[in-house]
Amino acid sequence: MKILNDQKNKQSGFTLVEMILYIAICSIFLTGLVYFTWDVVYGRIRSFTHQEVNQNIRFASKRISYEIKNASAVNSISANAISLEMSDLARNPTEFQLVNGRLKVGYGTSGNCPVNSPCFLTSNKVNVTNLSFTDLSSGNSKNIKFVLTVESTGDRREYSISETVETAVEVRSR
């Protein structure tokens, strides 16, 4: 009979030590989950920022190279602007210039992006910090070197990305 009474007196449940152990295990798991989620979110933002800078510098450098290659001549060249003479009258002159941290391009005197009202070539999510043109022509060869630096506009240091491209292009059309 005594055995039955002892089993009735035992209550089912957790002891204090078991409860503390379970709470500690859950806390460690949830902390790891929160840190993992933060890393995924910030990694995604860093990736988008890097992609934005790369797309802008690639597009701008390819566009400048294309226009220089297809130019008939170089009208004028300065530290941060270039004016190209084009054989297509609708696109003559074609000008690239750096204005307030953004690269602008103008084609001809009328149309969608005339020289007097040029269009942006880079997005407002990046800042062009350096655009320089140098005339490397010698003899019959007309060569233009340009350096383009694009940075992200984010104010946080971990999202600060800067890319620079330096290219020399020959004016092919004559």
Q: Do 108 and 89 meet the contact criterion of CB atoms below 8 Å apart?
A: yes
12 within some domain:
no
Rounded to whole angstroms, the Cα distance separating 45 from 38 reads: 11
Instruction: Tell me if 140 is assigned to some domain.
Output: yes
Q: With 0.85 as the threshold, say if the pTM is over it.
A: no
Q: Whose CA is closest to 169, among 146, 150, 140, 151?
A: 146
* 21-69 confidence digits (pLDDT tens): 999 999 999 999 999 999 888 888 888 889 999 999 999 999 999 999 9
Residues in the chain: 174
Q: How many domains does the chain have?
A: 1
Instruction: Answer whether residue 3 is part of any domain.
Output: no
Q: Is the pLDDT of residue 5 over 60?
A: no
DSSP 117: S
Whether 89 is covered by a domain: the verdict is: yes
- The residue among 33 and 2 whose pLDDT is bigger is 33
> 21 in a domain, yes or no?
no
Domain span including residue 102: 27-170
In a domain, 4, yes or no: no
- Alpha-carbon distance of 127 to 132, in angstroms, equals 15
Q: Using one digit for the tens of pLDDT, what is the confidence trace for 113-160?
A: 888 888 999 999 999 999 999 988 888 888 999 999 999 987 777 778
